[in-house]
């Protein structure tokens, strides 16, 4: 079996697996669909970013496999616990690794490096890149994390545009929508750091956390996507707090994206070391 055939079989397995979670409850089904579409678009983003990296056909297929599998734990998580919050249920990445192992899907396809894929799936949701020495594992992890962010930005900004219609608390972490930005959130972002989940006190904090993901982006193409699709502007426009602080956080993130686009173009380096 070659990598293309392996990818085809893996994709078919994904849809069969997800079929088990079809629900008559529209709220559950909405969230199952949300994660299915998220997975499809993460794979699209992987193909988009991957196409700029001179990867072999085999490596592109491996990268896409990590996309199809990265959130496989989400389906059991939501069905069993009714939440996507790991701290209120369990780590969905570790749950996904368990699902993949139990299914033996990768064991049946020796065309893919199962150990690498399990490592990448298991670490995709860490707050930052884990200490990993293997360059290949790091490459695939960076690619997946960028693609995952691209689509989470898509999901949240689409939601913010439509949230006047219907609120989805699973996408707001059940936080109160108060017109406040918490100090540790603001201070961290102004230093170019990622926001810690434990510091989130309001929906506005969470929106700014999403803006701060630019500080964890690895590839030039990802920065270009952020700019092309106006994700930072969409998040800024969705804030329910029009303070100076919000404007500072936005401007800093925006100029960081601009700088990374320029730097990468000048040096030709697309991977952030």
Q: Which residues bind Fe ion (CB under 5 A)?
A: 71, 125
Q: Which is nearer to Fe ion, 71 or 205 (CB)?
A: 71
Shortest distance, position 125 Cβ to Fe ion, whole Å: 5
The minimum distance between CB 66 and Fe ion, in angstroms, equals: 11
Residue (171 or 190) nearer to Fe ion, CB:
171
Least distance to Fe ion, CB of residue 35, Å? 9
Supply φ then ψ for residue 248, to 5 degrees: -60, -50
CB-nearer residue toward Fe ion: 58 or 132: 132
Provide, rounded to whole angstroms, the least separation between the CB of residue 38 and Fe ion: 8
10 Å Cβ neighbour count for 43?
22
Q: What whole-number distance in Å separates Cα of residue 99 and Cα of residue 212?
A: 31
C-beta of 84 vs 112, nearer to Fe ion:
84
Q: Residue 79 or 125: which CB sits closer to Fe ion?
A: 125
| Residue 161 φ then ψ, to 5° | -65, -35
Nearest residue to Fe ion, scored by beta-carbon proximity: 71
CB of 124 to Fe ion, least distance (A): 6
CB of 116 to Fe ion, least distance (A): 17
For residues 89 and 125, which CB has a smaller minimum distance to Fe ion in the complex?
Answer: 125
Q: Considering Cα of 28, then 34, then 37, then 38, what sign does the dihedral take?
A: negative
Residue 93: CB minimum distance to Fe ion, A: 6
Task: Give the contacts of 25 (CB within 8 A, at least 6 positions apart).
Answer: none
Do 141 and 195 touch, CB atoms closer than 8 A?
no
By C-alpha distance, which of 63, 36, 62 is closest to 49? 63
Instruction: Report residue 121 as tokens.
Output: 């799936």
Residue 64 or 71 with smaller CB distance to Fe ion: 71
**Bridge partners, residue 219, by sequence:** 271
> 């930052």: which residue's tokens?
128
**Which H or E run contains 18?**
helix 3-19
Pull the structure tokens for residue 60. Answer: 């592109």
User: Crossing angle for the helix pair 135-162 and 26-50, nearest 10 degrees?
Assistant: 130
């Amino acid at each position: 079996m070659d990598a293309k055939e392996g990818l085809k079989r893996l994709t078919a397995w994904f849809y069969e697996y997800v079929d088990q979670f079809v629900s008559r409850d529209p709220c559950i089904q909405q969230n199952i669909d949300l994660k299915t579409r998220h997975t499809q678009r993460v794979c699209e983003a992987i193909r988009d970013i991957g196409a700029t990296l001179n990867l072999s056909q085999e490596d592109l297929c491996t990268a896409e496999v990590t996309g199809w599998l990265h959130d496989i734990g989400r389906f059991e998580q939501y069905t069993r616990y009714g939440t996507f919050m790991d701290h209120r249920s369990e780590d969905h990445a570790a749950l996904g690794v368990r699902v993949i192992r139990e299914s033996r899907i990768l064991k049946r396809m020796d065309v893919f490096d199962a150990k690498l894929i399990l490592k990448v799936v298991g670490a995709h949701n860490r707050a930052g890149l884990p200490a990993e020495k293997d360059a290949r594992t790091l490459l695939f992890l960076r690619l997946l994390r960028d693609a995952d962010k691209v689509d989470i930005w898509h999901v949240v900004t689409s939601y913010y545009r439509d949230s006047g219609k219907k609120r989805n608390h699973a996408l707001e972490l059940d936080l109160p929508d108060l017109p406040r930005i918490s100090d540790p959130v603001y201070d961290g972002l102004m230093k170019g750091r990622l926001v810690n989940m434990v510091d989130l006190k309001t929906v506005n904090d969470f929106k700014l956390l999403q803006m701060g993901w630019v500080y964890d982006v690895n590839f030039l193409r990802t920065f270009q996507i952020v700019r092309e699709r106006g994700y930072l502007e969409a998040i800024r426009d969705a804030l329910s707090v029009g303070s100076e602080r919000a404007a500072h956080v936005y401007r800093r993130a925006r100029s960081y994206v601009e700088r990374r686009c320029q730097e990468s173009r000048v040096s030709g380096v697309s991977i952030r070391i």
